[in-house]
Structure 1
Amino acid sequence: MKSILKYLKKPWPCWFGGILLGCINVALMGLIGISWQITSAFLLWGVGILKFFKLDVSALEYFNYFKSYYQPILQKGNLFINKYAILNIGLVIGSLIATLLSSQFKFKKIKNKKQFVAALVGGIMMGYGTRLAVGCNIGAFFSGIPSFSLHAWIFGVFIFLGAGVGVKILVKFLM
């Protein structure tokens, strides 16, 4: 057991991580019929929170457009525990385990209000953008490439360009 833990503490090569993630994505498709996705669970959790406050959003045009996708979950009422939520919970637990095994877990203080506001606004913009785009980079890129989707390759080019611009903006305004 010690030898396995010793191996897990070493950084894994990028190619191994890529192969492992690809295998997990194929297993997901085979076992539960969906590719890896993140934001659908957040959408459903938001609907569940709004339902708690007696706001029914299931009649909105968004849900009518994706009727076959979301209606079974909306009708059953399993907004917090469903196949999308299980993926997110597994992602968090897996990330925590990987962080603990690599001895990288630590709490960090928020440096200042500017950093907090930037993170909050950025998170809201990302969440809103993923619903407008009907998914995030995992669904658009990671799950699109194995299905030979042209849009995934175009997305990949522009996500890297956008990341470069984003880094320049962060360095200029927040560093």
Structure 2
Amino acid sequence: MKKLEETRMDNNMVERPSLYDTLLKKEWSYYTGAVVIAALALALNAFSGIWGVSGPLSIWGGKVLTFFGVNADAWRGYNGSLAKYSFWGNKPSITDMGLLLGAAISTLLAAEWKIRKLKHWKQALSAVIGGLLIGFGAAIAGGCNIGGLFSQLPQFSIAGWLFLLMCFLGAWVGGKLLRFFMPPVSNKRPNRKRLTPEQRKKNKMIQIAVGAAILIIALAAGFIVSPKYPSAPAFVVIGLGLGYALQRSRFCFTAAYRDPT
């Protein structure tokens, strides 16, 4: 009986997670992330149709080329669309930017923002090659693994099922090639400067403040342009929610078909 009482006292003395840790810092389960992302994707479909990501990235790339003097608008792929492009008038652009900002907000509110150095040059090489292949593939396929796959499967699109089959094949080949890009294992620990408790607390408060500021600015921007673009606030909220949920749950659409291989 005495041991039971001592055990209860020890359990009561265990520090319980704070409300901040529970709401903003604790990672979500894959199930929670999947449910939230699915709900937001359904809301997005109700407003604009299929959820897509790669389209605005192509436009932004064309805008960057135009800024540096390249007449990308004359290319067949753009065909004058860059001159007509309006960020707030392009719903996928709003959700894409919201997704990026939502992920950043999630990281900042959890005080997890860090600049990590590359461990090996192979990481940079794999990122460059992988990014080029993803961009090229999304362009010629008419969509990425979201718009061309996960948004197509519920509609029983044959293109979506073919996309899925080829993704498994590509993931298998990529898994074999991954060994080349894996950096050598090192037992040396990085020489990091340890922060004092006061410095950690200050860093945490700064990150939370920056995250809250980005959230307020993003929401305010959506409502400011709402007289001209009435649906903008909704797409800002959905985009922020998608980015936040993806970062909190570490949910990855690529791993969904890469890991089983």
Q: Residue 165 of structure 2 corresponds to which residue in structure 1?
A: 157
* Structure 2: unaligned runs, 5 residues or longer: 1-17, 184-261
Deviation at 1:42, TM superposition (A): 1.3
Deviates more, 1:37-46 or 1:50-59: 50-59
Q: Distance in 2 between matches of 1:171 and 1:80?
A: 43
The alignment covers a number of residue pairs equal to 166
Does residue 56 in structure 1 map to residue 71 in structure 2? yes
Query: Among 87, 106, 124, which residue is 2:132 paired with?
Result: 124
Deviates more, 1:88-97 or 1:6-15: 6-15
Q: CA RMSD in A?
A: 2.8
Query: Among 32, 40, 64, which residue is 1:16 paired with?
Result: 32
Q: Distance in 2 between matches of 1:166 and 1:141?
A: 18
Specify the code of the residue in structure 2 equivalent to 1:129: G
Query: Among 110, 116, 125, which residue is 2:118 paired with?
Result: 110
Query: Among 30, 51, 72, which residue is 2:46 paired with?
Result: 30
Post-superposition CA distance 1:8-29 (Å, at most 9, x none): 4333232322222122112112
Q: Distance in 2 between matches of 1:83 and 1:96?
A: 20
Secondary structure of 2:133's counterpart equals: helix
Cα contact 1:115–1:174 (8 A) shared by 2 = yes
Cα contact 1:47–1:57 (8 A) shared by 2 = yes
TM-score (norm 2): 0.54
Deviation at 1:5, TM superposition (A): 4.9
Specify the code of the residue in structure 2 equivalent to 1:14: Y
Secondary structure of 1:146's counterpart equals: helix
Deviation at 1:80, TM superposition (A): 8.7
Deviates more, 1:152-161 or 1:142-151: 152-161
Higher gyration radius (CA): 2
* Structure 1: unaligned runs, 5 residues or longer: 65-69
Q: Distance in 2 between matches of 1:101 and 1:168?
A: 38
Q: Distance in 1 between matches of 2:101 and 2:169?
A: 31
Deviates more, 1:94-103 or 1:43-52: 94-103
Does residue 89 in structure 1 map to residue 97 in structure 2? yes
Cα contact 1:141–1:155 (8 A) shared by 2 = yes
Cα contact 2:123–2:181 (8 A) shared by 1 = no
Identity %: 36
Does residue 44 in structure 1 map to residue 50 in structure 2? no
Cα contact 1:5–1:101 (8 A) shared by 2 = no
Secondary structure of 1:62's counterpart equals: coil
TM-score (norm 1): 0.76
Q: Distance in 2 between matches of 1:100 and 1:165?
A: 36
| Structure-2 change in CA distance of 1:4 and 1:143 (3 Å) | farther
